[in-house]
């Protein structure tokens, strides 16, 4: 046992006003506390400065970020299809031109495509509604499978398929499509229209 008595550590008079007891710093001596505050001071100042800058952002640079809001997206009816059956909005590139394309397709209830193929793979995500899909050269809307919003659909090059929205469904289906053009659309039976009323 040592003859030396440990002297009790003095608490800083400012401990209470700084709320240090809630940080577990009440056991520190004044010297230790002062050193820690000196080290923490610049860090706290940096956090405060960063928080103040968060409200100030650079303006959007359209050469670096392309933005099209819904009111800027131009929906076009498709040639050879009845009005309000299917519409397309070109967002990037074109399915008929070489290179990457990104489009939105909107199928209205009561219409589906006739069986067709593409020369290149096509990738789709259902944005809203329910898209009815199937593969094969024989058109049979009763055998289509629902792809609800959020579904991913991949179409393999050369595989016949058909899709759309059946009558009685409550809303159009909007589908985001991406691939490499030109897609080379081919109808399985080119003697009939490219759409079906269902």
pLDDT, one tens digit per residue, over 3-24 is: 555 545 544 454 454 454 545 5
**Helices assigned H by DSSP within the chain:** 30-53
What are the chain's domains? 8-57 (no CATH), 70-197 (2.60.120.10)
CB 159 within 8 A of CB 135: yes
Q: CA–CA separation, 163 vs 107, rounded Å? A: 9
Nearest Cα neighbor of 195 from 63, 147, 30, 187 is 187
Query: Which residue in the block uniquely carries the two structure tokens 């009790």?
Result: 8
Residue 39: pLDDT band with limits 50, 70, 90:
low
Nearest Cα neighbor of 143 from 112, 179, 107, 104 is 112
pLDDT, one tens digit per residue, over 101-120 is: 999 999 999 999 999 999 99
Residue 57: pLDDT band with limits 50, 70, 90:
confident
């Amino acid at each position: 046992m040592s003859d030396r008595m440990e002297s009790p550590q003095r608490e800083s008079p400012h401990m209470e006003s700084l709320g240090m007891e809630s940080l577990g710093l009440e056991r520190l001596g004044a010297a230790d506390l002062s050193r820690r505050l000196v080290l923490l001071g610049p860090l706290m100042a940096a956090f405060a400065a960063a928080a103040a800058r968060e409200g100030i952002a650079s303006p959007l640079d359209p050469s670096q970020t392309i933005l099209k809001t819904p009111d800027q997206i131009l929906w076009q009816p498709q040639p050879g299809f009845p009005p309000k059956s299917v519409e397309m909005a070109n967002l990037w590139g074109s399915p008929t031109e070489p290179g990457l394309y990104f489009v939105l397709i909107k199928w209205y209830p009561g219409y589906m495509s006739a069986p067709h193929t593409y020369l290149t793979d096509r990738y789709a995500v259902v944005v809203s509604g329910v898209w009815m899909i199937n593969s094969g050269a024989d058109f049979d809307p009763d055998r289509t499978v629902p792809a609800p919003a959020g579904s991913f659909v991949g179409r393999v090059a050369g595989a016949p398929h058909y899709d759309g929205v059946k009558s009685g469904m409550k809303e159009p289906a909007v589908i985001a499509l991406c691939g490499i053009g030109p897609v080379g659309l081919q109808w399985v039976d080119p003697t009939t229209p490219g759409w079906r009323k269902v």
